[in-house]
Amino acid sequence: MKPVKPNQLIRACLCVLLILVSQNGFATNVVEGLRVWPSPSNTRVVLDLSAQPEYSYFTLSNPTRLVIDLANTQSNFDLSNVKSTSKLVKKVRYSTPKNKNSVRVVLELDIPANTEIFALPPTAPYKNRLVIDLSDKNEQPQQAVMTSDRSTRDRDIIIAIDAGHGGEDPGSIGPSGTYEKNITLSVSKKLAEKIDKEPGMRAVMTRTGDYYISPNDRPELARRSKADLFVSIHADAFTTPQPNGASVWVLSMGRANSELGRWMERTERHSELLGGAAEVIQDTASERYLAQALLDMSMDHSLTTSYDISKIVIKELKDVTKLHKKRPQAASLAVLTSPDIPSILVEVGFISNPKEEKNLNWAKHRQRLADSVFQAIRQYFKKLPPDGTMWASLSKAEKRTHRVRSGESLSLLAQRYNVRIKAIKEANNLRTDTVRIGQVLTIPST
């Protein structure tokens, strides 16, 4: 007879113990929490569990209900405390279970809904989760915020603003417990407000509340809005608290060009798992194929524009915060893969740095960050407005030149034409304040 190894004996004993426990009426899994995350187009319900769930579900009508049975499970969580503002989910409650070792959860729905249910393994800061995605069966897919054609004369310049993370994905968490998703949404809303106040510009946001959107879906929302620029707002983080400062990122056609870039690529995948992106778990091969197909498309114009805008954003950011990098950085990030829309990712600071976490929690600092990004965007499009926009029409009508005469200086010309010295220098690529007699200068409109 072959001797039994100690490890095999331990595993066998554990299996027998689990069977005995189950047979004697003790559940091995526990419902520890439930959250409802409504968004404009769907609702996500998440059950927190102590172990991987074993589940089944069915629907009932008159009234409409979704019933979920969790086998070998008990509940330590009071569902009466769960409040729902969803237009789909009216109430979440328990019902009579199939047997004493199971839990039955009922979602009372206002309308019939498409349902997708999947389990997720532990991903910090969460344990095991069961995710229920619901969407209105009768609702059409989300359409563009702006429906007019991009070629329409005198249209607005559209800036798509993407508040990073959201919902189940908190992003990075600061030493004092600050969630990146809250910082990014606040800065994004302030930036959108500045853009909407500027005649000839309009902001659209990928998310306006605390809900999850897959990184792969965010550029698509910008495309549906016919955006001229995609700006994704994030707060950086690293494994140690020392790194600090803002940075701006553009798409890399290959690998990231820094250690921090490689870290960001890894954390983007982590964010997808936190948000419960079913496509990441079910079909990573097709995702890689799609990403490669996007990257293989012609992106020269978008990449060049992205880099040029990034340099201006960095120049403006350095007046309000410390810079982590003085040049645009590159990484292969899903939110930047739109082939036809210039796209940048702005890291407004390191939330993992205690001092910067404190700054990011200061509303005035977030406003300054938003103002600096706005000034950079405005500056770029004033100089190079997209064809067909109101700004392009104004630029053609207002383009002025001036031949420098004896005794004239940049400060005198700025005062005469009511523009900033900095604007004249940028319009003429001047590195100093010196001008020559006879030199022809372009005078910008602002």
User: Is the separation of the CB atoms in 198 and 262 below 8 Å?
Assistant: no
In 190-263, the DSSP E strands lie at 201-205, 229-236, 247-251
Percent of the chain with pLDDT over 70: 78
DSSP state of 59: E
Measure the CA–CA gap between 371 and 349, rounded to whole angstroms: 15
pLDDT of 260 over the 60 cut: no
Measure the CA–CA gap between 242 and 244, rounded to whole angstroms: 6
Taking residues 145-160, what's their average pLDDT?
66
User: Is the separation of the CB atoms in 227 and 171 below 8 Å?
Assistant: no
Query: Got the DSSP string for 138-176?
Result: TPPPPPPS--S-TT-TTBPEEEEEEE--BTTB---B-TT
pLDDT of 73 over the 70 cut: yes
Taking residues 55-73, what's their average pLDDT?
95
- Closest by CA to 270, choosing from 132, 161, 172, is 172
What pLDDT is attached to residue 160? 97
What pLDDT is attached to residue 59? 94
Q: What would the two tokens of residue 332 be?
A: 């292969």
Taking residues 279-304, what's their average pLDDT?
53
pLDDT of 298 over the 60 cut: no
pLDDT of 443 over the 70 cut: yes
Measure the CA–CA gap between 122 and 112, rounded to whole angstroms: 31
Taking residues 438-442, what's their average pLDDT?
89
What pLDDT is attached to residue 10? 58
Assign 407 a pLDDT band (cuts: 50, 70, 90). Answer: confident
pLDDT tens digits, one per residue of 317-357: 999 999 999 999 887 777 887 777 899 999 999 999 999 99
Q: Is the pTM of this model over 0.85?
A: no
What pLDDT is attached to residue 345? 94
pLDDT of 279 over the 70 cut: no
Measure the CA–CA gap between 385 and 445, rounded to whole angstroms: 12
pLDDT tens digits, one per residue of 375-405: 999 999 998 999 899 988 877 766 678 889 8
